[in-house]
Amino acid sequence: MDTVHVDLLVIGFGKGGKTIAAAAGRRGLRVAMVEQSEQMCGGTCINVGCVPTKALVHDAESRRPGDSPADWYARAVTRKADLTALLRGKNFDMLDVIDSVTVVTGRAVFVGPREAEVRAGGDVLRIDAETVVIDTGSEPVIPDIPGVEGSSRVVTSTELIATEDLPARLVVVGGGYVGIELAGMYAQFGSQVTVLESAGRLFGREDDDVADAARAILERQGVTFLTGARATSIHDADDGATVTYEAAPSSGTPSATAGGAVTGDLVLLAAGRRPVTAGLGLDVAGIRTTDRGAVEVDEHLRASVPGVYAVGDVNGGPQFTYISLDDSRIVLDQLYGTGERSTADRDAVPYTVFISPPLARVGLTEQAARAAGHDVLVASKAVASLAAMPRARIVEQTDGLMKFVVDAGSGLVLGAALLCVDSQELINTVALAMRHGVSAAELRDAIYTHPSSTEGFNEVLAALA
């Protein structure tokens, strides 16, 4: 067994880890990047997460009524695979061109506080390091539903988007954001989609008006929702898999008031994602984990063992690629900067659910702002009613609404929900304004290009009340 010593060992080729590895390598430090699969260079986002799913969303939106659903889907899956292969190669090259960085393919297991063995087939390499960064990401949760184990028709999101044949019927177990995104996408490809959600309503983090508008859009696109419905078993048959369900307790006002069953060619389990820490040997290293299995870290992303850090989904923080990138900035500041940057510095972090059109939000909802004691002004308008946003009509996407929640005393934006074309871009402008104290009046009176979606702010914010 060979043993090597490095300055930095990074376990997992995700956004945060690869950024830290590249920065250390450019400083001339010896770096080992360990990734268990050549198909995951670049991390979850590029290979099985954000990039491939959003490519499929785009192609689903582009399908015309006369296009064959099966052929269009097969074309989209091929394009998605080509895109991820291209980006995977570029990510590998990003580190491979740095002389002091070595990419090692194999599974890493800790054998000491900052020491790991990497196994690939019969080969074993022991790596000890001055600093270790854990970036092993997250994986789909497999709920304990009778019939899941051994079913040939149950898939996770990773497996679903690799499927070459469009399922005529898709049952989605779980109405969280991953399940909803994929439900909307497959409905637009031409699948008959049914979503089972145990909660009494969808989009539980949103105000009722925003949640209702988003649900209505998805239903018009062909998605059937059964809320307040808890899956109780899955049974394979020749013609599909049947999911039985019952009314979930304490689910508010469900749409599935009694039990029933629904059959699909495939059943997608979309019950969330969990940190990948099992099998890493963290206990051997003395690295503590949380009750949810994440690596326990402080505000500087330091683990319980000196010199060990955790970035990205594995540390239990928000599961966004851009959070992983910001994690890398915190760790790099610890290693080579002032050591002052922390997770407490984050403010007005936006997110987007890529339905069609996308739903993007930042800050407080109206309900949360009122509950926090704010005297609020609210501006909300349907996109179809906006005269000052012709881009929506140009691109034939007038669904949705724009909603701002503003502090009545200071005039500062407390939050916004944008359910509209280009919202994944617009929300970044709002978040920047919130972080830098730009008032709602300044956003209202700003000069925006035309025709753009941003100029909708002129009209919406003029309606503050």
178 is in an annotated binding site: yes
Q: Is the pLDDT of residue 244 over 90?
A: yes
Is 259 annotated for ligand binding?
no
Question: For residues 427 and 395, what is the distance between their CA atoms, to the nearest angstrom?
Answer: 19
* Mean of all residue pLDDT scores within the chain: 96
C-beta separation of 174 from 196 below 8 A: yes
Q: Decide if pLDDT at 127 tops 70.
A: yes
Instruction: Look at residue 259 in the predicted model and tell me its pLDDT.
Output: 86
Question: Could you give phi then psi for residue 241, rounded to 5 degrees?
Answer: -115, 130
Residue-level pLDDT at 146: 97
Q: What is the pLDDT of residue 254?
A: 54
Give the Cα separation of 399 and 237 in Å (integer).
39
Structure token digits, residue 77: 């899956």
Contact 263, 241 (CB under 8 A): yes
- Any binding-site annotation on 240? no
Angle 81-70-178 from CA coordinates, rounded to 5°: 60
Answer whether 234's CB lies under 8 Å from 146's CB.
yes
Per residue in 313-366, pLDDT (tens digit) is 999 999 999 999 999 999 999 999 999 999 999 999 999 999 999 999 999 999
> pLDDT class for 253, splitting at 50, 70, 90?
low
Three-state DSSP class for residue 24:
helix
32 close to 10: Cβ distance less than 8 angstroms: yes
CA–CA dist 354, 57 (Å, integer)? 8
User: Does pLDDT of 258 surpass 90?
Assistant: no
Report the range of poorest mean pLDDT among 221-230, 255-264, 439-448. 255-264
- Rounded Cα–Cα distance for residues 75 and 58 (Å): 12
Q: Report, as an integer, the average pLDDT of 250-257.
A: 57
pLDDT confidence of residue 32: 98
Q: Please give the average per-residue pLDDT across 93-116, as a whole number.
A: 97
366 is in an annotated binding site: no
Cis check: omega of the bond before 140, within 30 degrees of 0:
no
How much is the pLDDT for 248?
A: 86
Is 177 within any annotated ligand binding site?
A: yes
Report how far residue 42's alpha carbon sits from residue 50's, in angstroms, rounded to the nearest whole number: 12
Give φ, ψ of 417 to 5 degrees: -125, 120
What pLDDT is attached to residue 256?
A: 54
Give the DSSP H/E element, type plus range, for residue 140. Answer: strand 138-140
CB 231 within 8 A of CB 262: no
Q: Is pLDDT of 251 > 70?
A: no
DSSP state of 289: B
Strand ranges, E, within 251-390: 260-264, 266-269, 273-275, 308-310, 351-353, 359-363, 376-382
Q: Which residues are catalytic?
A: 450
What pLDDT sits at residue 255?
59
The 10s digit of each residue's pLDDT in 384-396 is 999 999 999 999 9
**Under 8 Å between Cβ of 137 and 313:** yes
Place of tokens 């790596």: 127
Domains belonging to the chain, first-starting first, are 2-139+274-345 (3.50.50.60), 154-271 (3.50.50.60), 351-463 (3.30.390.30)
Section 124-147 average pLDDT: 97
Cis peptide before 113 (omega within 30 of 0): no
Q: What pairs with residue 267 in β-bridges?
A: 154, 171
What the block records as the tokens of 197 is 């959600």
What DSSP letter does each residue of 214-270 carry, written as one string? Answer: HHHHHHHTTEEEEETEEEEEEEEETTEEEEEEEEPTT-SS-S--S-EEEEESEEEE-
Give 310's contacts (C-beta < 8 A, 6+ positions apart).
Answer: 133, 134, 135, 294, 295, 297, 301, 303
Q: Is 136 annotated as a binding residue?
A: yes
- φ/ψ of 72, rounded to 5, equals -65, -40
CB 365 within 8 A of CB 205: yes
Give the model's pLDDT for residue 121. Answer: 83
Asked if residues 436 and 371 have their Cβ atoms less than 8 Å apart, the reply is no
Q: Check pLDDT > 90 for residue 54.
A: yes
70-74, 222-226, 245-249, 278-282: the lowest-pLDDT one: 245-249
- The model's pLDDT over 138-155, given as tens digits with 9 standing for 90+, comes to 999 999 999 999 999 999
Give yes or no for residue 257 having a pLDDT over 80. no
pLDDT of amino acid 252: 57
pLDDT at 58: 97
Closest CA to 421 of 464, 380, 458, 384: 384
User: Is 293 assigned to a binding site?
Assistant: no
137 marked ligand binding residue? yes
The CA–CA distances, whole Å, from 414 to 196, 374, 376, 454 equal 33, 9, 9, 18
Averaged pLDDT, 9-38 = 97
**Alpha carbon 129 to chain centroid, angstroms:** 31
Q: Which residues pair with 319 in a beta bridge?
A: none
Contact 345, 305 (CB under 8 A): no
Q: 25: annotated binding-site residue?
A: no
68 in a labelled binding site: no
SS3 assignment, position 188: helix
Per-residue pLDDT at 100 exceeds 70: yes
Question: For 212-235, how does the pLDDT look when each residue is reduced to its tens digit (9 = 90+)?
Answer: 999 999 999 999 999 999 999 999
Q: How far apart are CA 214 and CA 397, in angstroms?
A: 14
> Do 260 and 245 touch, CB atoms closer than 8 A?
yes
Across the beta sheet with 223-227, the strand order is 154-155, 266-269, 169-173, 192-197, 223-227
> What percentage of the chain carries pLDDT values higher than 70?
98
pTM of the model: 0.94
Task: Compute the average pLDDT of residues 145-172.
Answer: 97
